[in-house]
Structure 1
């Protein structure tokens, strides 16, 4: 963590409970090591996509989506996009036992109503103080508390990548991410890393990873990242992430996300 990041995290930790802090990132690289603070963190991905690492699980947040990170949650932030623009809100929420959605990490899809309210709140500067702007503070806090109930939970995008406990799989999974454009098959992968097909299959199974499903998830996640970068046709993206035909890409994309690639892009 660099000095600027450390200073801002320290500022967040020192911010009073009666203050909503707002941070806007420009077109910059996102790479923030593990950290935690008491504030609930709501991240709106204006442009680009985001990876949120919590424990051994990596979550994927597409463009024009919201990551809801509860307070006191250790997390890392990163992105593979060329340029990323985020709006981040830090606030204190007193959630009772009924407000389970406020206490859990979630990814939400935005609509025009949500987007306009987020932009309105973000337009008020770097902080909203309850003492200085009680009505605005009350509105913003109420809006954020309602966010889980008025947003569509993107459950299919949760837990995109689980880091297995068995270290023997780590270089293999890293290889998969770097070679998605290739025709990835278990026999070739086993030979490259010195396993028999049977032993490598067992290693995946014992770690709770279904090989073909895992590879398809990686490919769809990479496709969504490429959507955000722009400059490519849907057909080019399909080939670039390793699908033999656009039809196969469309079918797998729909299986994983519930919508076609074109519909996904249009909704963003």
Structure 2
């Protein structure tokens, strides 16, 4: 059983730092009703997380990654990260690896929708939940998942929300995060940043690699995912709550970001 000073089988000797005493190269950890810590942590293992139910935010360096239901995130070794979620229920299937192939893919963060084959493989691997001793079938199967990941990955960069380091842009992002459901003039944002409209547009794109309009779209769609997860609203209500004038406009925007149509959670 997992004790108070352990996460996914790893021993937490001091806050946010984990010691790995597990001998097997790879193992699976299923967490139902995941209870996350609100501080940054790191570990030696490479981490593959599949969100079976709910959604999860991963805060890594200067980006926040949204991982919706039926998506996976790959996190390299020693990469500091923090997780958060407002979802009522978060079920995660986590695979942790000590050794990975020598390819650039495994040294970077990736978020993508799990194709059916990968999803079924991860669900099958759940039968070895918390098995920390050597098992030939488990080792071979998890290695098959690991080596196939680059082929399964169809990166969705729209699920990455930049967190600008430039202090002038923080009030702009905060304002959008609080007022995303309203229409506002870009001059308002320029005043918050204490710069001209043209300078704001140029510097925001330079620092985040996306435009202000794209940032607003991302925030609206992320908020809609939270509302979909709550199971309290219709699609039309959600469209209105996040600032769209029609369901069709919301659906088009949602598809552009998530690459699937919005649907109510069962």
TM-score range, shorter chain: 0.7 to 0.9
RMSD: 2.8
Q: Structure 2 stretches of 5 or more lacking a match?
A: 13-17
Q: Distance in 2 between matches of 1:194 and 1:113?
A: 47
- How is 1:1-268 mapped onto 2 (pairs within 5 angstroms)? 4=4, 6-8=5-7, 9-10=10-11, 13-96=19-102, 99-130=103-134, 133-149=135-151, 151-158=152-159, 160-190=160-190, 193=192, 195=194, 198=197, 200-201=200-201, 203-208=203-208, 209-262=210-263
CA spacing shift, 1:178–1:83, aligned 2, 3 Å:
farther
User: Normalised by the size of structure 1, how large is the TM-score?
Assistant: 0.82
Deviations 1:84-115 (A, max 9, x none): 2212121212322xx33222211132233322
In the other structure, the counterpart of 2:15 is: none
Q: Distance in 2 between matches of 1:140 and 1:201?
A: 45
Q: Distance in 2 between matches of 1:143 and 1:203?
A: 41
TM-aligned CA deviation for residue 217 of structure 1: 1.2
* Corresponding pairs, count: 255
Q: Distance in 2 between matches of 1:54 and 1:253?
A: 24
Q: Distance in 2 between matches of 1:170 and 1:251?
A: 28
Q: Secondary structure at the match of 1:41?
A: strand
Q: Secondary structure at the match of 2:129?
A: coil
Deviations 1:188-219 (A, max 9, x none): 3445x374653644553453451111101111
Q: Distance in 1 between matches of 2:243 and 2:166?
A: 26
In the alignment, is the contact (CA less than 8 A) between 1:128 and 1:136 conserved in 2? no
Q: Secondary structure at the match of 1:157?
A: helix
Q: Distance in 2 between matches of 1:223 and 1:194?
A: 27
Q: Distance in 1 between matches of 2:190 and 2:96?
A: 46
Structure in which a larger fraction of residues adopt helix: 1
TM-aligned CA deviation for residue 63 of structure 1: 0.8
Q: Structure 1 stretches of 5 or more lacking a match?
A: none
In the alignment, is the contact (CA less than 8 A) between 1:29 and 1:83 conserved in 2? no
TM-aligned CA deviation for residue 53 of structure 1: 1.7
User: Normalised by the size of structure 2, how large is the TM-score?
Assistant: 0.82
